[in-house]
């Protein structure tokens, strides 16, 4: 069962109080992160509308998903990756021009110091329940021409409906993808594009019909645009 953290505890963490040195990191992560992030896969058994209660992305498969060096860096300097939050409908307000993101409702992620970030990143990288999905992945990073990649991402596959492939360009309900390559393991990128619901049955990412070669092309485009980022 996920533990729920109070806002007060989050504020304490944000203020830089170190994780208890003597406590085991797993317990600390459960206590400090578990209010917003799932650390087990129980959500998969709940009705779909549990999705509306999420405050942060699930971390139960963090070790199969993230790059350790990115986690270490981001935890010290967290920046928003999802312009409309983890559950966009909760952060939307109507306007004359249509729905807009109500940024006042978006919470900031606490920043950790380097020592804390290292411990948490190391722990998260041990959460690897989906090793079999990663091992089954055949993706080998390659190249793709910018124009072809862009057309594939936009016109042909419609990924830009929800994701940005450059700052300010594309939909805002999904996480930005121009930084996905630095953030995510290549095999995860490919495996998740191909079968997002195998990772998270309540994902808002559609299970598309792209074949393996097309998935790898999309992954190569994320590599191309990601490597151009500072």
Partner 1 sequence: MKTLLLAATLSLASVTAPAASDSGKQLYSVYCTQCHGVAGNGKGINAAQMAVQPRDHTDTKEMSARTDEELFKVIEHGGKSINKSVLMPPWGGNLKDDEIHALVGYLRALCCQKD
Residues forming the site for partner 1 (CB under 8 A): 45-49, 51-52, 84, 88-89, 92, 94, 97-101, 155-158, 160-162, 169-173, 197, 201-204, 206-209
> Considering the complex, what minimum distance in angstroms separates the CB of residue 194 from partner 1?
10
3-195-40 Cα angle (round to 5): 15
How many other CB atoms are found less than 10 A from the CB of residue 175?
20
Closer by beta carbon to partner 1, 25 or else 100: 100
Closer by beta carbon to partner 1, 47 or else 230: 47
Q: What is the token pair recorded at 85? A: 């939050």
Mark out the alpha helices in 15-169 (DSSP H runs): 25-33, 62-65, 68-76, 114-124, 131-135, 146-151
Closer by beta carbon to partner 1, 16 or else 161: 161
> Considering the complex, what minimum distance in angstroms separates the CB of residue 3 from partner 1?
21
How many other CB atoms are found less than 10 A from the CB of residue 179?
20
Closer by beta carbon to partner 1, 73 or else 203: 203
Closer by beta carbon to partner 1, 69 or else 99: 99
> Considering the complex, what minimum distance in angstroms separates the CB of residue 73 from partner 1?
28
Smallest CA-to-CA distance from 185 within 149, 219, 152 is with: 219
In the block, residue with structure tokens 């409908």? 89
> Considering the complex, what minimum distance in angstroms separates the CB of residue 16 from partner 1?
33
Residues 204, 173 contacting (CB under 8 angstroms): yes
- Mapped onto helix, strand or coil, the DSSP state of residue 39 is coil
> Considering the complex, what minimum distance in angstroms separates the CB of residue 156 from partner 1?
7
* Nearest-angstrom CA–CA distance, 76 and 123: 15
> Considering the complex, what minimum distance in angstroms separates the CB of residue 169 from partner 1?
7
Give me the sign of the Cα torsion angle 54, 57, 58, 59. negative
Closer by beta carbon to partner 1, 101 or else 148: 101
In eight-state DSSP terms, residue 23 is S
DSSP β-bridge partners for residue 164? 170
């Amino acid at each position: 069962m996920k533990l729920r953290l109070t806002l007060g505890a989050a504020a304490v963490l944000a203020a830089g109080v170190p994780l208890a040195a003597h406590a085991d990191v797993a317990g600390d992560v459960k206590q400090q992160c578990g209010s917003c992030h799932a650390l087990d896969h129980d959500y998969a058994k709940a009705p779909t509308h549990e999705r509306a209660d999420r405050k942060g992305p699930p971390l139960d498969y963090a070790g199969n998903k993230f790059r350790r060096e990115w986690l270490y860096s981001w935890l010290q300097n967290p920046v928003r990756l999802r312009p409309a939050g983890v559950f966009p409908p909760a952060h939307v307000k109507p306007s004359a021009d249509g729905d807009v993101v109500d940024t006042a409702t978006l919470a900031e992620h606490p920043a950790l110091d380097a020592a804390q970030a290292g411990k948490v990143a190391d722990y998260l990288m041990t959460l690897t329940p989906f090793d079999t999905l990663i091992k089954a992945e055949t993706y080998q990073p390659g190249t793709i021409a910018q124009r072809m990649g862009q057309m594939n991402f936009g016109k042909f596959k419609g990924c830009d409906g929800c994701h940005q492939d450059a700052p300010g360009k594309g939909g805002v309900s999904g996480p930005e993808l121009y930084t996905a390559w630095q953030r995510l393991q290549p095999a995860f990128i490919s495996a998740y594009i191909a079968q997002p619901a195998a990772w998270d049955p309540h994902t808002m990412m559609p299970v598309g019909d792209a074949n393996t070669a097309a998935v790898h092309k999309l992954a190569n485009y994320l590599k191309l645009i990601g490597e151009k980022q500072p």
